[in-house]
Each structure stands twice: as structure tokens, then as C-alpha cells.
Structure 1
Amino acid sequence: MRKLNKKIILGMSAMVLLFSSCTNDLDTEPKVELSIENLLAQDPNAIEGLLSKMYGTFALSGPNGPGSSDITGPDPGETAFLRSIINLQDFTADDMKNRWGDDGLDQLTTTSNWDPNNKFFKYLYDRVYYIVPQTTNIIRVLDGVDVDNEAQIVGELRFIRSLAYYYMIDCFGKGVIVNETNYGETSPLNESTRTELFEFVEQELLAIEDILPETNSYGRANKATAQMLLAKLYLNAEVYTGTQRYDDALTYTVKVIDAGYTLAPNFVSLFSGDNDTSTEIIFPLIADPVVSQSYGNTTYIVNGSLSTETMNILDFGATDAWTGHRATKAWYGLYGDLETSPDDRAELFWTEGHNYEMEDYKTWADGYPSIKFRNTNFNGSSTATSFSGTDFPLFRLADAYLMYAECTLRGAAGGSASQALTYVNQVRERSHATAISAGQLDLDFILDERARELNLEGHRRTDLIRFGKFTGGTYLWPWKGNTLNGTSIPSTYKLFPIPQSALQANVNLTQNPGY
């Protein structure tokens, strides 16, 4: 049933081809072949397709296959949301590097020379401001149209909008708030501060917490999904607003933990083609190799990490290899000796034909490719395909366990040190890593354990910033600041530059300091 639901939601997303890009300004009404008002008046059931389209925009580049895009860019496959998150969260951090270096990618992988004209910053910014007006317009229209289950659908749309804004808060630190009261205004909207965006998203999530259901169809938001996003917002509140909210982060993390999810028995199963059956994944970004093909979902991770030069790519369910991504010793070095480590996660690097040291990030043999994500089923047989069918676990329970431990270590009210240790050891023991003692559990350990467990899942840059280790020279990694052994980078790099195209489109926007 869950596999069926996966194909239904993707199929509906592909069928609803109403939207076109609206990224030239931030308050233009979406152009449609048929107005949403008229569409829903003729067929109220079309709301399911519209909702599916909005979920799909996190995984797909556009509505007409892998060569289409909702936003503008010379290569549509580059513009997908998930591809942007991997580029900006993992390649800019210590865990992963890319060797292609094409048209601005070097700036990310070396965390240096960031430029507001870099297309990769623009892709995420434009994607957010594609999602925000579209969801707002549907919410606005639903106020005057009768559809079944309307309150829940509006709640899901508000979650989707909040999720998009979360990445605006995290990556760019400011922007404009588009909502039902100002949608369609012809004059440029005013810039909102990071704190104002934070408060808007916080209030949206609090408002929908009791509207969303306890359970929902696969790939759609439920109560725990909104609670997890709130917990992440609060976990990073000190970075975002200057005021720590670890008590609130713990409160909402506990709600997620109590929602009934369980750790998957096997770590690899979480990143395999049949992971839509997982008991651990709270919110996935759906992929399908037939119904919904994309160069920007997990296809980017799977194919990008493979090469026929050193690997048999059929072993990972792929027919295409892009010879691009490798991990650095800042990640695989955390497991100690990979050959003797009992940790299952230590086995998820391809070492044959590769060098431990990344002396040249553009040389494929330097660094170990991560084989954490693959396009093969964990249970049963599978067929190799050009596009990945492995869903991306944006939120999962192990992350919540580690968040609980971090909040407790940071002094959150109500946190239990013994429970924190239990959660951390459950995560470790799932992968056959050695259990730790209470004396070993500190914030440095949590940061390293988050790397061992969650790297290549779009968290690392945010984690390093929260722990004060992203900028400056206290913590160095290979090619940080475009030097072999790493060098200090300025504190302004805690935020990405506002794209030049956005500044030109809205005179009320201002550039982030240092750019």
C-alpha cells in the first residue's frame, strides 16, 4: 500500500501541469493555463493533484520530466531542491566534495570566493520563492471553495510553505514574507529579518500542529512532521535569533519521539530503494525511477557517487555513473580504521582504487565515495535503472534521538541524562558500534555522532554553525577555504549571499554582510 501511495502522489504531481515559473519577482501571481478558482470549481478533487504538485517540488525539478524546471536555469536538473540542499549543506561543509567544478560549484566545495552571481545560491533562493507564492495562492483560493478535508489540506500547504521558509532562514537569513494578506501586491514587498521569518514559521507550525493528522498518506505531512520542523527551528534558534530555545526544542523532540516511529533494524535499509517501508522515516522526499524521473532527487546522490573507473555500478542499482562526489577524511576518519571498525556505517565508503587523503579534490581517486545511498532494494531483488527510486529521509527518528541528547547536554529543562545516553547508544548499537559511557557523552561527541549517522542527509553545515565550528580557524577540514589542509574562513560565511537576481527584482532587499 505504501508503494502504491508513493506512485499515486508522484503520478498526480506529474499530471498537474498548471504552474509556470514566477521567479522574476516575489509577489507575481502564478501564471496558469486555467485559474485555480475555475479548476477547483469544475473539479474539487483536483486539490489532491495541486497538493501533490507542491510536495513534488521538493524532489522534482519540474512538471514535465527530468528536462523541465519550475525555475530558470541553464540545466534544469541542477535546479531541484534536494540537489541544492546537498550542494549547500554537504559540499560546503567537511563531509563531501565534488570534483566537477563547473560554473560556481568549486566555490561551494572549497567554501571560498562566494559570489551573489553563483547560480547554485540562486537555485535554492528561487525554489523557495517558487514554493511560497504557489502554496499561498492555493491557500487563498481554498478560502472561497468547498473541498473535502479542506482544513487538513490547508494545514499541509502551510507546512510545505514553512519548510521552504525554514531553508530561507537557515541559508540566507532574510527575505520577504508572502502570505494570504499581501499575496498579489504589485509593489515590491518589504524585507523581513531573520527573526521575523523565524516568528512567522514558528506561528504557522504552532497553528497547524493540531490540524494535521496523527497519520497521513506516505510522503505527506502529519503531526510529527510539523513537530520535527518546529524542533529543528528551536534547536537552531540561538543562531537564527540570538536567543536559545533548547527547552522548546526538547519539548517538540519528545513529541516526535513519542509519535510511534521506531529505529529501522538495519542502517542500510534507510537508504535503499525500498525504504518507503521504513518504520523510522518521518518525512521523505519521494523518488521513483519510472513515474517521476529527476536528476535532482537521490539520483544526484547515487549516480553522482559512482564511477565505472573504480566500481561496478550495477551493484548499486545504477546504469549511469557521474564520477563526481567523494567523502573526505573529516567524515570517514571519525570511524577510526575502516577495516577493523565494528560500525556498519564505516563500511559505507568505497576504498578500492581510492586514496585516503584528498590531495586534489578534482581527482576522482582522492577521497572515498560514499555508498550510503543506493538504488537497490534492501529486501528482495531489484532492477538497475538510470534514475533512482530511493526516497530521501529528510526527517527520521535517529536524528530526533540525537537532538534529544544535544538539548539535554545544553541544559534543556526536563532532559534526562540517562535517557540521552540510552538514545545515543540505541543509534550506535543499531549499527553495531560500541556503546559509550555517560562520561563519554558530551557536545563534541554529539557533533561527531551526528556526522557518523547523518552526513550526506543535508544537515552538516547547519550543525557545524550551531556548534561554532563552520567559520573561523578552530576546526579545519580538507579544502576549507580552498587549501589542502583547510584554512580559516570569515564569519560572514555563516550565511550565503542573497542572489544578485533577487536584489535586482526587489529594491527592498539588501545584501548580507561581506558580499
Structure 2
Amino acid sequence: MKKIIIAFLGITMLVNISCTKDLDTDPLVELTLEELINRDPNAVQGIVSRLYGSFALSGPDGPGSSDISDDAGESPFLRGIVNLQDFTADGIKNRWGDDGLDQLTTTTNWDENNKFFRYLYNRIYYTIPQCNNLLSVLDNVDTEGKEQVIAEVRFLRSLAYYYLIDTFGKGVLATEENFGSSAPLPEATRAELFAYVESELLDVVETLPDSNDYGRANKAVGNMLLAKLYINAEVYTGTDKFAEALTSINKVITDGGYSLADSYVSIFSADNNTSPEIILPLIADAVTSQSYGNTTYIVNGSSSSETMTLADYGLTDGWGGHRASKGWYGLYGDLETSTDERASLFFTEGHSYEMNDYKTWTDGYPPIKFRNTNALTPSTAPTPFSSTDFPLFRLADAYLMFAECAVRTNQNLGEALGYVNQIRERANAEPISAGDLTLDFILDERGRELNLEGHRRTDLIRFGKFTGSTYLWPWKGGVLEGTSIPDTYKLFPIPLQALEANPNLKQNNGY
């Protein structure tokens, strides 16, 4: 019987693991799963909850603990998504410049030594072996709802692989079948990883429940990830699957039971756990789920007492790091006259419209889209950490994915127009006509609606706007006005330590 890992302070999966080592784990305390269940009938559910937590928390023992041998504050999974998806794109920049962030903010000179690439790679290859560990023992034990548990764990493993496919393009295919192997695993190509994740999701989506506890996967969550895989299939494999993406996303919309929130701001407030729009959140709590890598990174990082009253956003600490550029707020036109509610979610007082120096706090507007105050209920006192859940998947994204696939396949255009206008009407923006529903409009609307939610780099690549000079934004290529960057940058380099640990891994082209 394989061993499952537990440690003090409840059921966790605390391990001393790095993707630069082997893909097995080094248990602190060993119990068979059967023994663990005898001690605590809820053991399996606790372990599954810990797997979900691996996407938002740094470790099991508070914000200073880490599941991996990287910095607990800098390395959490969600923080890596924001760093690599949003800072590298057009809408938001970071001013700290510490040891690699400048490379991301300016899309220049990044290489395999950048620690932020290592952080995300390590987090991916922390979650995947933990899923494999649990799956390797579940077949041999009896536990309530085992088939659903297996489906959820396979979904979480697929979610981790999805980010590997999107950011690095390749790695090793670690499953419960080769879990514990001491020999370096062979390199798996992007197409091979895509095929594996596609097959996994197709196999488990019907086993996932129609509804589930808040923060856990159901059928809509599984179909949402499948649709994201399909909508990017042309980038990942060279073969488009927009029709398949349309089918999957339609299931999310029609069968999921979700609806747009009445208030846009409520989706990004501390009481957003009541939102009818969020399909899959990464849960945060200022007391019980503290992390420097969940929405605390976004809310605190986008605030500073230098120009802002922190208590207005539910904060006691402002880190003064992130500001939007006109690549984001420029999408709304004149912010002073725009009726679009989303255009008001930037702090402008004392700040300059132009980001002439991305390291100057007052150049560019801090985004106040995410905040640690309640929107629908009375707010509590300001806290050092955020209680705002991160909407990893939400319905407005599904609507815009539907619209994009409809335009690309030239079908269901009437429905697509209706979905887009529901989003715009919620924001008090002018509705559009059928002739306005173009791919360029959809890309801009995704920026207006979804920026700072971990999508932008992937969107720009899919629309052919990330590399080259077709679309320029402030500080692209390290130049104020923006300049061309090579196609190499559509993938990040495989971290040096991963290459050194596994001779079967080869660096991505161009690095």
C-alpha cells in the first residue's frame, strides 16, 4: 500500500518536494489511508480540501509556511498566475523590479534563471504528485463517495497540467501509474499533454456532481476547463477546436445554474462567496486562509498609503506595487465621461494617465477592482490579509468564450450577441449591434471585463497580439511606447533547476 501523508495541525499533505527533485514525496508521518480513515472518517475529504488549497495557499501552517522549498510569500500558485499572465501582458505592471519581476513587466530578457518561472513550475509539480499520491491508494480503500472524489482529484491534476501546457508547453507526464518512479520520466510534448488532459476531462466530467460544495468542482467546472483547453487548442496543438469549445461552454451556460451578479463590484469584494456568478473560486479568508499569494497579493499589492486611504479598501497594509496602464483603462475611452462601471475601478487621484516610468508609483492608475470590503453586507474592520475569493472561473468569462467561438465558427451569433450585451448592460455600458461583434471587439471586451483575473497573456497569444509588433503597449519589449518581441516569448523557458534534475527535459526553442 502506498503511503499518504499527514502532519500536525489537521490533515495536510505537507511534503518536502521540488520539481527539481524526483516526483515522489518525502512523508513526515506515514499512515496507510485505511489507518487514517479509521482515525478520522473525514480524512479523505480533508486531503481533497488540501489539494484545492494548493492553488491559493503557500502551505499548511499559515502564510509563512511553504509546501515547496521556495519562498512562502512569493511562490504560491495564484501569485504565479498573476505574475505570468497579467504582468507580462498589456494591462498591469509591477514596480518592485526585484530579481526577475522587471523581466515580466517589460517582456524582455527573461531566461531559465528567473525565479518566478521556477515558482510556478514547482507549484505545478507539487500539486500533480499529491493528486497522484491520493489516486494511487483510493482504488484499494472504501470511502464514501469514492468515485466523485477520484473525479475531483483527476480534475485538479488536469487543472495543474493545463497551466503547464499554457505557460511552459511541455514537461513530464506524471500519473498514479508511474508515481514513485525513481528514474527520470521522459519529456512529454505539448500535444501529448493536451491529449492526456483532454482524455482525463472527458472521462471524469460526467462523474463530477451537478452541484458541489462552494469552492469544489462540479460538471460546470469540468466543462469550463475543457472549453479553455479547446479554445486554445490551435495554439497548443496547431489544430483548432473552437466548435468543441462552443459545445463545452454551452453546457456551462445552460446546465450550470449560474447567473450574472447584479453588481460587477460584488464579484471582487470580500463577501463574494455569495455571488451567483462565480463557478470556481480560490478561497481566501483573512483569519483562516491567510496567504501572501491569494487575493492579498492583488488587493494589497495594488494599494499604497502614499496616495490612498487603505481602510477604504479594507486594508491595514498597502504594498505599493501594481498599477494598471492605458493598455487596460484605455479600453474604456475617456474615464471621466464613460458610463461603464468598470471604468471607475481605477484610483486616479494623484496619479498620471501615462506610465512614463513603470517604477514610479504615481505613474499609472492602481486598479481597485479587487478590494477587501463587502459589497452586499456590512464590512468588518480592515485586516492585513484579504477575505476576497479569487474567481478562477466565472460566468461572464463563459459568455465571452461562447461569443468568441461563435464568431470563429460563424454559428449561434444571435445568442453570442445577447450574452455580450448582458455583460455590457450589467456594467452600464452601451449595448453593441451585430455588426460590432468582431474578434477585435471580443478581445477588447475580455480586457475590460476580465483583466487581472489571470487570462490576458493567453488571450493575446490566441488572438495573435502578444508577440511581434501588431499590437504594442506601454513597456512591451522594455520600451515606453512598446516594441516588437520575438515569438519565442509565447512560451516561458523551462527553469534551469528542472533541466539539471532531469536530462530528458530539453529547453524550449529560442532560450
The question of whether the paired residues in 1 share the 8 Å contact of 2:12 and 2:46 is answered with no
> Are 2:25 and 1:29 aligned?
yes
What is the aligned partner in structure 1 of residue 174 from structure 2? 178
The question of whether the paired residues in 2 share the 8 Å contact of 1:348 and 1:371 is answered with yes
**Deviations along 1:56-86, whole A, 9 cap, x unmatched?**
011101111000111122x311110110000
> Are 2:203 and 1:207 aligned?
yes
> Are 2:451 and 1:455 aligned?
yes
Q: Which amino acid aligns with 1:350?
A: F
What is the aligned partner in structure 2 of residue 364 from structure 1? 361
> Are 2:317 and 1:320 aligned?
yes
The question of whether the paired residues in 2 share the 8 Å contact of 1:307 and 1:313 is answered with yes
Q: Distance in 2 between matches of 1:134 and 1:410?
A: 38
Structure 2 SS opposite 1:77: coil
Structure 1 residue 294 displacement after superposition? 0.4
Give the direction of change, closer, same or farther, for the CA distance of 1:22–1:41 in structure 2 (3 Å limit).
farther
Q: Distance in 2 between matches of 1:197 and 1:503?
A: 18
What is the aligned partner in structure 2 of residue 465 from structure 1? 461
Q: Which amino acid aligns with 2:11?
A: V
The residue correspondences of 1:286-325 to structure 2 (distance < 5 A) are 286-325=283-322
Q: Distance in 1 between matches of 2:482 and 2:26?
A: 44
Give the direction of change, closer, same or farther, for the CA distance of 1:159–1:300 in structure 2 (3 Å limit).
same
Q: Distance in 1 between matches of 2:139 and 2:14?
A: 20
Q: Distance in 1 between matches of 2:111 and 2:228?
A: 28
TM-score normalized with structure 1 length = 0.96
Q: Distance in 2 between matches of 1:255 and 1:310?
A: 45
> Are 2:482 and 1:497 aligned?
no
The question of whether the paired residues in 1 share the 8 Å contact of 2:17 and 2:69 is answered with no
Q: Which amino acid aligns with 1:460?
A: R
What is the aligned partner in structure 2 of residue 3 from structure 1? none
**Deviations along 1:196-220, whole A, 9 cap, x unmatched?**
0001101111111111000000000
Aligned-pair identity in percent equals 65
What is the aligned partner in structure 1 of residue 165 from structure 2? 169
Structure 1 SS opposite 2:73: helix
The residue correspondences of 1:9-20 to structure 2 (distance < 5 A) are 15-20=10-15
Q: Distance in 2 between matches of 1:449 and 1:275?
A: 22
Q: Distance in 2 between matches of 1:371 and 1:14?
A: 35
Q: Which amino acid aligns with 1:79?
A: S
**Deviations along 1:469-501, whole A, 9 cap, x unmatched?**
000111100000111011100100000000001
Q: Which amino acid aligns with 1:195?
A: A
**Deviations along 1:139-173, whole A, 9 cap, x unmatched?**
11111111111000011000110000000000000
Structure 1 SS opposite 2:29: coil
Structure 2 SS opposite 1:76: coil
What is the aligned partner in structure 2 of residue 224 from structure 1? 220
RMSD, aligned CA: 1.3
Structure 1 residue 452 displacement after superposition? 0.1
**Deviations along 1:170-227, whole A, 9 cap, x unmatched?**
0000011111211111110001000000011011111111110000000000010000
The residue correspondences of 1:140-151 to structure 2 (distance < 5 A) are 140-151=136-147
Q: Distance in 2 between matches of 1:175 and 1:152?
A: 28
Q: Distance in 2 between matches of 1:21 and 1:376?
A: 36
Q: Which amino acid aligns with 1:360?
A: D
Alignment partner for residue 63 of structure 1, among 51, 60, 63? 60
Q: Distance in 2 between matches of 1:341 and 1:335?
A: 7
Structure 1 residue 14 displacement after superposition? 6.4
Structure 1 residue 27 displacement after superposition? 2.3
The question of whether the paired residues in 1 share the 8 Å contact of 2:278 and 2:394 is answered with yes
> Are 2:389 and 1:391 aligned?
yes
Q: Which amino acid aligns with 1:365?
A: T
Alignment partner for residue 421 of structure 1, among 412, 417, 424? 417
> Are 2:343 and 1:346 aligned?
yes
Q: Distance in 2 between matches of 1:102 and 1:248?
A: 42
> Are 2:301 and 1:281 aligned?
no
What is the aligned partner in structure 2 of residue 8 from structure 1? none
Give the direction of change, closer, same or farther, for the CA distance of 1:350–1:217 in structure 2 (3 Å limit).
same
Q: Distance in 2 between matches of 1:171 and 1:335?
A: 29
Alignment partner for residue 78 of structure 1, among 70, 74, 78? 74
Q: Which amino acid aligns with 2:289?
A: S
Q: Distance in 2 between matches of 1:490 and 1:205?
A: 33
What is the aligned partner in structure 2 of residue 263 from structure 1? 260
Q: Distance in 1 between matches of 2:505 and 2:423?
A: 43
The question of whether the paired residues in 2 share the 8 Å contact of 1:17 and 1:64 is answered with no
Q: Distance in 2 between matches of 1:219 and 1:47?
A: 16
Alignment partner for residue 154 of structure 1, among 150, 172, 179? 150
Q: Distance in 2 between matches of 1:21 and 1:341?
A: 51
Q: Distance in 2 between matches of 1:97 and 1:208?
A: 38
The question of whether the paired residues in 1 share the 8 Å contact of 2:339 and 2:428 is answered with yes
TM-score normalized with structure 2 length = 0.96
What is the aligned partner in structure 1 of residue 47 from structure 2? 50
What is the aligned partner in structure 2 of residue 102 from structure 1? 98
The question of whether the paired residues in 2 share the 8 Å contact of 1:18 and 1:32 is answered with no
Q: Distance in 1 between matches of 2:283 and 2:39?
A: 29
Q: Distance in 2 between matches of 1:46 and 1:61?
A: 21
Q: Distance in 1 between matches of 2:481 and 2:68?
A: 37
Structure 2 SS opposite 1:34: strand
Q: Distance in 2 between matches of 1:26 and 1:482?
A: 37
Q: Distance in 2 between matches of 1:490 and 1:245?
A: 26
Structure 2 SS opposite 1:395: strand
**Which 5+ residue runs of structure 1 have no aligned equivalent?**
1-11
Structure 1 residue 41 displacement after superposition? 5.0
The question of whether the paired residues in 2 share the 8 Å contact of 1:66 and 1:293 is answered with yes
Give the direction of change, closer, same or farther, for the CA distance of 1:141–1:265 in structure 2 (3 Å limit).
same
Q: Distance in 1 between matches of 2:26 and 2:426?
A: 47
Q: Pick which of 227-236 and 12-21 moved more.
A: 12-21
What is the aligned partner in structure 2 of residue 7 from structure 1? none
Structure 1 residue 13 displacement after superposition? 11
What is the aligned partner in structure 2 of residue 191 from structure 1? 187
**Which 5+ residue runs of structure 2 have no aligned equivalent?**
1-6
Q: Distance in 1 between matches of 2:501 and 2:27?
A: 18
Q: Distance in 2 between matches of 1:262 and 1:120?
A: 36
Q: Which amino acid aligns with 2:474?
A: P
What is the aligned partner in structure 2 of residue 4 from structure 1? none
Structure 2 SS opposite 1:97: strand
**Deviations along 1:368-410, whole A, 9 cap, x unmatched?**
0000000000012212110000000000000010011100110
What is the aligned partner in structure 1 of residue 403 from structure 2? 405
Alignment partner for residue 443 of structure 1, among 439, 443, 448? 439
Q: Which amino acid aligns with 2:12?
A: L
What is the aligned partner in structure 2 of residue 6 from structure 1? none
| Count, aligned residues | 501
The question of whether the paired residues in 1 share the 8 Å contact of 2:13 and 2:50 is answered with no
